[in-house]
Structure 1
Amino acid sequence: MQKNRFSLFLLITFSIALTLTTILNILLIGKSREELGRSVLRNPASLKTVKKHYIAIVPAISDPFFINLYYGIQQGATKEMAGLELLTYSSEVEVSQFFLSAEAYRFFDIALRSKPDGVVMYFPPGSDIKSFSDKAQERQVPFVPIAMDQPVQGIPALVTSDSFIQGSEAVSVALGLLGKDARIGVILPAGNPNSFIISEEPFLNGAVFEINQKQQGKILAAEREEENILGGEEVCTTMLQRYPELNCFICTNARSTVSAAQVIIDRGLVGKIVIIGADEDLDVARLLEKGVVQATIVRDAIKMGETAILSLSQKGITSRFAPISKVSTYTKYGKATK
């Protein structure tokens, strides 16, 4: 008898709990519908119609150039009223920009198979961009590669910066500050087997061109930073040991800029050695503000990303004669340099 009463009690308890749960769900659904009607259905103008589907394939690197590149790509997609699928692949080494991983190849194949309205993809120096471009043309998928410099092979529809101009501008700023007394060390980015040999680096060629044009100053050394996190500092230290007369560092990215600044601060040489940096993040902006870095030559990654997306809708973008877009750099000066 007691067992039957206990079973009846449990049945009644579970029935009440189930009823309360059902009532609560009904109330929540009603509330959700009410909020939906208030925020969307009564304001259809706030809804955006996606007209196109774009895919962007980029490395997951915490460098300011790539952060700005992502932003520019998103900005371009918004202007085009396009849905953007951002596929980020891990680099083999976080601090390096020079590895196109197997994941990147896989993402590209997936992108072509999904038949989007366009694909943009970043390529590190030395990449075989042409094979990717050829595949996209075969599938008739609009494709715009993004690279730091124009490769030797003719690549249609490329969006690129110009390291030659970047190097030339960096030396121009250095000569403006130091004149004929400029003794310069150039810190080049870490390389890979497909990178330019140092003497053929576009950045260095631009720097040498400016020295020859102005007939002032001298480049004492040009060396690559190592891939490890302290690679830039090691190169700076070595240069100072070998060339005591060195009075200017010219850098090719934000990481080497911060590394050079750290060496100068540690050695008590702030104000005695000029640093012309590259790109800009919070650390570089702070160093400019404090006068440790005199100027930075910024590659306009936001404009590069936006230009790549906007190029996808251009007429003839899938042809072998699609135009190349070259995005210029701009210079930011520290307060003490203005």
Structure 2
Amino acid sequence: MHKRTLLISVLLVLAAGLFAVYGVETLRMSGGKTRQIAVIMKSGDIRSEFWQTFGEGVKAAAKRFDVNAEIAGPLSESDADGQIKAVNEAIAKKPDAIVLAATDEAKLKPSVDKIKKAGIKLVSVDTASNAGATESVIATDQTEAGKRAGLHLAGQLTANASKAFILKSANGAAEAAEREEGVRAALSGSPQAEYIGTFTSEGTEDRAYETAKLLLASHSDVKGIVCLNEKMTLGAARAIKEKALTGEIKLIGFDSSIYIVKLLEEGVVQATVVQKPFNMGFLSIKSAVQLLSGIKANPKQYVESLVITKDNMYSQQNQQLLFPIVER
């Protein structure tokens, strides 16, 4: 009887301890003044479904953790100067934390240094934003995503050593370099593909179209293209359609929009690698709140990417990724 009483007492003490720890962490997450978090996206363009969906994840997390999240970003992902201006404006408001998806790591480094000098917590999204300065990174494993794109292209090519190239934006974004690395690794390991180079274009659909059109004219034997973002994908698809090469040239893209969905249905795009921007937005705010509460955040959190094709695009899970509910 004495042993049973002692056991119950020990269990009660342990339970009380667990409750105290849980209660303290909960209070640290939600108590005190309302925290201010500035979120600087790569693009604030309402036509960018990726970043608009990311913003919805931010809003959901801000409501869940009772913080104020102010979202900003340049109209174009290639506008590093516009993003630097947005970061400087955010620093001037002295927020508790900044969530930053850097358009160009090298150009944004001085801004990152300013954030750290100001004592503001920094969470990086999509890219590491000079990993030594950031305390938490929320990102897709871009190298793995690139491998998936390259492997899918190789599986679409029927003849051995079919020529293929990569088309990417010229803005120097780190995730593009990581995606390229993954694509090249996949293509180099496949007898179906012969990688002939990576070509860059300015970050608009029109510029991507012009670049792709010139490349297709100078490489008439190309059978495959991997584009590393939505704008490159749309531009290359337009060039393929214009030259009546639908289906003959296999095109693998990145990201999603109603336009890419239509191209999948038409068979112009064979697959697109889709990230989970809502999850990224939510986790970025959660990590910022943890850092502000003195709770160590996961230094690097990867969010899974998926390969969407015409065959699997109608599943419920993939429909939610392709057609997110976004407030306009």
TM-score bracket relative to the smaller structure: 0.7 to 0.9
Aligned to 1:292: 268
Aligned to 1:45: none
Amino acid in structure 2 at the alignment position of 1:166: A
- Which one of 25, 37, 49 corresponds to residue 54 of structure 1? 37
Aligned to 1:71: 56
Q: Does the aligned pair in 2 maintain the 1:220–1:243 contact within 8 Å?
A: no
2:182 corresponds to 1:190? no
Aligned to 1:11: none
Superposed CA deviations along residues 221-263 of structure 1, whole A, max 9, x for unmatched, are: 3101134552111121122122111111111111111111111
Superposed CA deviations along residues 128-169 of structure 1, whole A, max 9, x for unmatched, are: 666555554555443312233564646321222333222211
Distance 1:71 1:337, change over 3 A: closer
Distance 1:143 1:79, change over 3 A: same
Distance 2:88 2:286 in 1: 24
Aligned to 1:12: none
Q: Does the aligned pair in 2 maintain the 1:125–1:147 contact within 8 Å?
A: no
- Which one of 167, 178, 196 corresponds to residue 202 of structure 1? 178
Superposed CA deviations along residues 154-205 of structure 1, whole A, max 9, x for unmatched, are: 63212223332222111111112215344212111122xx667xxx922221
Aligned to 2:125: 146
Q: Does the aligned pair in 2 maintain the 1:150–1:160 contact within 8 Å?
A: no
Q: Does the aligned pair in 1 maintain the 2:40–2:87 contact within 8 Å?
A: no
Aligned to 1:332: 308
Distance 1:227 1:314, change over 3 A: closer
User: Aligned to 2:101, what secondary structure does the other structure show?
Assistant: strand
Q: Does the aligned pair in 1 maintain the 2:205–2:235 contact within 8 Å?
A: no
Aligned to 1:105: 87
2:229 corresponds to 1:247? no
% same residue: 19
Deviation at 1:57, TM superposition (A): 2.5
> Which deviates more, 240-249 or 50-59?
50-59
Provide structure 1 residue ranges, at least 5 long, that are not aligned to the other structure.
1-49
**May I ask how many residue pairs the two structures share in their alignment?**
279
> Which deviates more, 70-79 or 137-146?
137-146
Aligned to 1:178: 157
Distance 1:95 1:322, change over 3 A: closer
Structure-1-length-normalised TM-score: 0.71
Distance 1:320 1:212 in 2: 40
- Which one of 180, 187, 209 corresponds to residue 233 of structure 1? 209
Distance 1:302 1:66, change over 3 A: same
User: Aligned to 1:211, what secondary structure does the other structure show?
Assistant: helix
Aligned to 1:25: none
Amino acid in structure 1 at the alignment position of 2:39: A
Provide structure 2 residue ranges, at least 5 long, that are not aligned to the other structure.
1-32, 315-328
Structure 1 or 2, whichever has the larger Rg, is: 1
User: Aligned to 1:312, what secondary structure does the other structure show?
Assistant: helix
Amino acid in structure 2 at the alignment position of 1:263: A
Aligned to 2:145: 166
User: Aligned to 1:148, what secondary structure does the other structure show?
Assistant: coil
